[in-house]
Amino acid sequence: MSTPFSFDARRVEKPWGYELIWAESEHYVGKLLSVRAGHALSLQYHEVKDESWLVQEGRASLELGLVDGDLTTVEIGPGDAFRYRPGTVHRITAIEDTLILEVSTPHLDDVVRLDDRYGRPQRDA
């Protein structure tokens, strides 16, 4: 469907699955994160980006904490919601195929990786 209000969602392949960017403006970004079972996002934090997640499907292990603090690990599933303010360290490892709805500020390249099993650089370009 094409209207003056429609937006072509953009799929971005990742080593752990993909992101489907379904909204993008100067004020916010909406994504669907699809993480394959056994795969993980990098252990990361953002310097400016403020994001919130809502788990739609699947189960995952979430590591969560502050940059210079200890990490807590919890199992998450459908209906669980989280907000990651700048400086919040986070990573999920999918136990099952997992879908997460993400809404954030539009700082798409603001990621500092502390650990990445796929060998990606510490910072996105």
Break the chain into its structural domains and give their ranges. Answer: 12-115
Please compute, for residue 91, the number of CA atoms within 13 A of its CA located in the half-sphere on the CB side: 19
- What is the structure's pLDDT at 124? 64
Q: What is the pLDDT of residues 24-81, one digit of tens each?
A: 999 999 999 999 999 999 999 999 999 999 999 999 999 999 988 899 999 999 999 9
Tokens linked to 55: 């788990």
CATH 1.10.10.10 assigned to domain 12-115? The reply is no
Residue 36 near residue 58, CB atoms below 8 Å? no
Tokens linked to 40: 């993980």
Residue 94 near residue 40, CB atoms below 8 Å? yes
Residue 21 CA to residue 18 CA, distance in Å, equals: 10
